[in-house]
Amino acid sequence: MHTRTVAATVGALLGFSALVLPTPAAQAADSGTSHGPVVVAHRGASAYAPENTLEAIDKADELGTAWVENDVQRTKDGELVVIHDTDLKRTTDVEQVFPDRSPWKVADFTLAEIKRLDAGSWFSPDYAGARVPTLEQYLKRVSANHQKLLLEIKAPELYPGIERQTLRELRGEGWLDWYHVRHKLIIQSFSADSVKTVHKLRPDVKTGFLGTPAVADLPQYAAFTDQINPNYKTVTPEYVAAVHALRGAHWRPLELFTWTINDGPNATRLAGYGVDGIITNTPDVVREATEGDAADAGSGASGSFSGATAP
């Protein structure tokens, strides 16, 4: 049965109806948009600390940013790690440590090998010794900081089964209980198939599709995702309105988080378009420009379905 049908059926059984669903305005308030868009620290506060490291999460926390975004991939020996590029060259010293291992793909290195790499010096000597974190380490630190996670499954075509594995790890770290699903977690990908897989495996989890589908195609996406998350250069007020006109996979207004805005004027402009979230390397700049309250911003669109399938 389609999730939306499930939602309607569950709602009917529990005595809910369309009349008690939140209005867009109420939904906006729940998402923090009455104070400005939700501010998400892209790869952590990556303008100030090396991207996708624990240090970048801590920096976001120091700046009062509740939401962090990351990128999840898999090592040769099957461990989930947090890194953006599909090779290790740009953000580690892999070429020095393993000079004969070109092209230095993440998937060609074991976790033990990746743990030897310095993931901070490329950014600044102040961060020498920072490591590529495992997803488990990353989740523990986000939890310790009481932050929220926009988790991106990166290049899933390279890692068959990564959706189920990611969900299993999230569950093991306590991230798939009702509270986390309702308030703390969104899973996104550039791959519609990957987002669909997450939605199928765990229909309760809030999801996002990275990209700018044609307006005519948005209803197809709304069937399996809660957010459309486009590059800000592709966003117009009309596009935001078209997204908001639909209800997403949990039968709440479809949301739009846009990326990557690092300056005040563009943040102000896109906030004026009514976007629900801004993903940024400079969360302090965006918050200042939009008067968003990152610390209080919540994710209001997560549905909660007791019949979720455990991964």
Catalytic residues: 42, 84
Q: CB under 8 Å to 69, separation ≥6 — which residues?
A: 40, 41, 42, 43, 44, 149, 150, 151, 152, 279
**What sign for the dihedral angle of Cα 26, 256, 147, 149?**
positive
Is residue 123 near ligand G3P by the rule CB under 6 A? Answer: no
279 binds, among Ca ion, ligand G3P, none (CB under 5 to 8 A by kind): ligand G3P
210 binds, among Ca ion, ligand G3P, none (CB under 5 to 8 A by kind): ligand G3P
Among 47, 56, 80, 210, binds ligand G3P (CB under 6 A): 210
Q: Which is nearer to ligand G3P, 165 or 227 (CB)?
A: 227
Q: Measured at CB, which residue is nearest to ligand G3P?
A: 259
Q: Are 187 and 169 in contact (CB under 8 A)?
A: no
Amino acid present at 209:
F
The distance of closest approach from Cβ of residue 52 to ligand G3P in the complex, given in angstroms and rounded to an integer, is 10
Each as own residue / partner, the long-range contacts of residues 158-162 (CB below 8 Å, 24 or more positions apart, any chain) are 158/73, 158/74, 158/86, 158/107, 159/73, 159/74, 159/107, 162/72, 162/73, 162/74, 162/80, 162/194
Q: CB under 8 Å to 100, separation ≥6 — which residues?
A: none
The distance of closest approach from Cβ of residue 56 to Ca ion in the complex, given in angstroms and rounded to an integer, is 12
**Counts of helices then strands in the chain (DSSP H, E):** 13, 9
Which of positions 23-42 make contact with ligand G3P (CB under 6 A)? Answer: 42
Amino acid present at 186:
I
Which of positions 249-308 make contact with ligand G3P (CB under 6 A)? Answer: 259, 279
Q: Which is nearer to ligand G3P, 84 or 252 (CB)?
A: 84
Is residue 71 near ligand G3P by the rule CB under 6 A? Answer: yes
CA pair distance 113, 213, nearest whole angstrom = 39
The distance of closest approach from Cβ of residue 69 to Ca ion in the complex, given in angstroms and rounded to an integer, is 6
Is residue 72 near ligand G3P by the rule CB under 6 A? Answer: no
The distance of closest approach from Cβ of residue 140 to Ca ion in the complex, given in angstroms and rounded to an integer, is 20
Amino acid present at 23:
T
Q: Which is nearer to ligand G3P, 185 or 279 (CB)?
A: 279
Give me the residues that bind ligand G3P (CB under 6 A), please: 42, 69, 71, 84, 152, 210, 259, 279
